[in-house]
């Protein structure tokens, strides 16, 4: 599946564990976090899904545009999030040991999850409900308790627990540098498309996952597959040695698949969301092909052009995860505050995006400096 290559890591860029510091991964996480904020702002102003507050009277065209934006995002961005998160897991376990790693994850993932479920999520719901109904009771608070966008952290904890269980009692293999082969990517893609199609016999699109509140449970095969790829990528040095041509080809494939397959999806939207139809097979083919191609393109692009980190980029990188945690109440408050302006949906989304992304990261930077949370974030 892969071939060894010589390591060419500059000594000045090595971390304490002897591996190159890859600033592009930090910068990619910032990009993905900003995309999550845009994703939920699109829902807010396009009224295209469940959220804590939906701007009233959005025109049908805005809803349609929002849905297209959401479907493109959903095809890849959370899968890439799981892959990037998994990438750092093996090295962290190697350095800390299983016991310390579990304690660390309980602090860094468990505390934010509990904070969101019982405080931040209900605060976001409070903003939305007060402006729409004018009241908020304790019963409303109880009904607003839930994982919300922190379903990602919930699933990440589950995946990490499975990884630790599989690894238990086995010595950690030493990392080595390899280059990924195109044949392996194709085999992986074919397997992921088939698995996704078959999985949706069990859980069709837009079907909820019982008890887990996963917003996009129909994407579980992709999330699990990308998490495993992230683990392997660390051990085998795939990200450092990913050939640049993979990014170019990946981008071309992602765009080409969209151009070729979108007419089928547009004319058969309803059938594509059902189990067992040929349109749902086409949707799985487009979605996973687009996801793999887009992820390869982004990884190569960020490695080539966004692999530096000054003070501002470093601050954004440190605030990326807390920004993910706090973004729901921040952008909900912003949308509610903008309501009296009466902006149309498109202009409202643009203004909220321009204000909401820096505001969220600013709030996150303040939150992670609060006493008691400094060791969490």
Q: Quote the pLDDT of residue 175.
A: 65
Q: Quote the pLDDT of residue 5.
A: 35
Inside any domain, residue 15? no
The residue among 26, 40, 285 whose CA lies nearest residue 149 is: 40
Q: How confident is the model at residue 267 (pLDDT cuts 50, 70, 90)?
A: confident
Residues 267-278 have a mean pLDDT of: 82
Inside any domain, residue 183? yes
The residue among 241, 197, 252, 247 whose CA lies nearest residue 222 is: 197
Inside any domain, residue 285? no
The b-or-e profile of 320-338 (16+ CB within 10 A means b, else e) is: bbbbbbbbbbbbbbbbbeb
- What are residue 180's DSSP bridge partners? 2
Residue predicted with more confidence, 317 or 132:
317
Express each pLDDT in 80-107 by its tens digit: 999 999 999 999 998 898 999 999 999 9
Q: SS3 of 2, please?
A: strand
Inside any domain, residue 298? no
The b-or-e profile of 191-200 (16+ CB within 10 A means b, else e) is: ebbebbbebb
Inside any domain, residue 8? no
- What are residue 4's DSSP bridge partners? 178
Longest Cα–Cα distance in the chain: 65
Give yes or no for residue 119 having a pLDDT over 50: yes
Q: SS3 of 160, please?
A: helix
Express each pLDDT in 202-246 by its tens digit: 888 877 777 778 878 889 999 999 999 999 999 888 988 899 999
Inside any domain, residue 38? yes
User: How far is residue 248's CA from residue 246's CA, in Å, rounded to a whole number?
Assistant: 5
Inside any domain, residue 286? no
Q: How many structural domains does the chain have?
A: 1
Residue 365 to residues 63, 218, 319, 353, 362, Cα–Cα distance (Å): 32, 33, 5, 18, 5
pTM higher than 0.85 for the full model?
Answer: yes
Inside any domain, residue 174? yes
Residue span of the structural domain in which 69 resides: 20-241+320-367
């Amino acid at each position: 599946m892969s071939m060894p290559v010589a390591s060419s890591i500059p000594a000045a860029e090595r971390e304490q564990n002897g591996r190159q510091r890859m600033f592009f991964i930090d910068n990619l996480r910032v990009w993905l976090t900003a995309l999550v904020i845009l994703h939920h702002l699109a829902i807010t102003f396009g009224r295209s899904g469940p959220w804590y507050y939906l701007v009233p009277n959005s025109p049908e065209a805005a809803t349609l545009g929002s849905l297209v934006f959401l479907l493109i995002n959903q095809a890849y961005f959370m899968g890439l999030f799981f892959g990037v998160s998994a990438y750092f897991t093996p090295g962290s376990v190697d350095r800390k040991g299983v016991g310390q790693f579990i304690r660390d994850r309980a602090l860094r993932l468990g505390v934010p999850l509990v904070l969101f479920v019982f405080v931040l999520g209900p605060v976001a719901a409070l903003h939305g409900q007060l402006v729409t109904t004018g009241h908020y009771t304790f019963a409303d608070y109880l009904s607003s308790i839930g994982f919300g966008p922190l379903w990602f952290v919930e699933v990440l904890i589950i995946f990490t627990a499975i990884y630790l269980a599989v690894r238990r009692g086995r010595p950690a293999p030493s990392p080595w540098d390899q280059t990924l082969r195109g044949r392996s990517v194709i085999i992986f893609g074919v397997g992921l498309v088939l698995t996704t199609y078959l999985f949706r016999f069990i859980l069709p699109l837009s079907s909820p996952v019982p008890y887990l509140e996963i917003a996009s449970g129909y994407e579980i095969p992709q999330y699990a597959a990308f998490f495993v790829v992230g683990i392997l990528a660390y051990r085998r040095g795939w990200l450092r040695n990913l050939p640049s041509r993979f990014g170019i080809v990946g981008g071309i494939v992602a765009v080409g698949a969209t151009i070729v397959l979108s007419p089928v999806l547009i004319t058969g939207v309803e059938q594509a969301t059902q189990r067992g139809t040929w349109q749902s097979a086409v949707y799985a083919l487009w979605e996973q092909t687009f996801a793999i191609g887009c992820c390869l393109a982004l990884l190569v692009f960020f490695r080539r052009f966004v692999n530096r980190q000054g003070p501002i980029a470093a601050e954004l990188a440190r605030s990326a995860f807390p920004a993910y945690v706090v973004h729901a109440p921040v952008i909900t408050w912003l949308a509610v505050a903008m309501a009296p302006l009466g902006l149309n949906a498109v202009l409202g989304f643009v203004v909220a995006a321009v204000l909401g992304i820096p505001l969220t990261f600013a709030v996150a930077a303040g939150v992670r400096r609060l006493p008691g949370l400094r060791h969490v974030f």
